[in-house]
Structure 1
């Protein structure tokens, strides 16, 4: 590295070579107001990536809740504390995510049906029942899916 290279190039190289050090360096630059030195392209990419990660986590937790609610409803003879614990844990995660980022509530509503369709397929595979066992439209509302006290009755 030569003394004539701009700091942004140095930071960009740091991004590729030592991500954790890049984070620490970027945070320090922000705190000190050294905005001209910031590797802006990679910073923007990381911030956008954080948003995508939040959405993926929300979908993943919702899918787990819906799949276990289907299993709970359609296989009452196999209900277990493990299923209840899984439902509770993933609802807790969803509640935490929605409390920290209330704007994700709209995304949850938008992706609910997609998550239900995936949960329906995964539940069918996992418990060995026909996909047609489960209704095409979710038997659970978004509110029921998030409600820590809600458990479906058997069909």
Structure 2
């Protein structure tokens, strides 16, 4: 096969394709100077949509990790470690920062809480080598509780 078929024509690439950081700088400058007709609107919209998805994935990921460690802490008290507590503190902090910067994401956290718990339940079973049935089908925690600074799962 001809390898040139897979190489884009450099003359047809947009600044977005050639130098992402420069594209951002130029887009910001165009916005600041009300040069709306000059803006690469298609890529700007795509980037903004991507940013929103990224923030949501971050909430889901951090919430799942937090719940995994709270489950391990609750169901394996004899194996509690500083590392588990550190992970709980770190992922709680990340969530609190996300929710402070974007309060509407707290609603998303509430919306996906049960789903994150089910993922955490599966992962905690894998990590602890306990049967998944050991972990409650229904989440023993709620979002507000797990976000409290000193909350640990042994308080139930």
**Fold-level similarity (TM above 0.5):** yes
Aligned residues: 146
Post-superposition offset of 1:148: 1.3
Moved over 6 A (4+): none
Equivalent residue runs for 1:5-154 within 5 Å: 13-153=14-154
Give the SS at the match of 2:154.
coil
Distance 1:58 1:100 in 2: 12
Post-superposition offset of 1:116: 0.3
Q: CA RMSD in A?
A: 1.7
TM-score relative to the length of structure 1? 0.90
Distance 1:112 1:98 in 2: 14
Post-superposition offset of 1:33: 1.1
Give the SS at the match of 2:140.
coil
Distance 1:91 1:48 in 2: 25
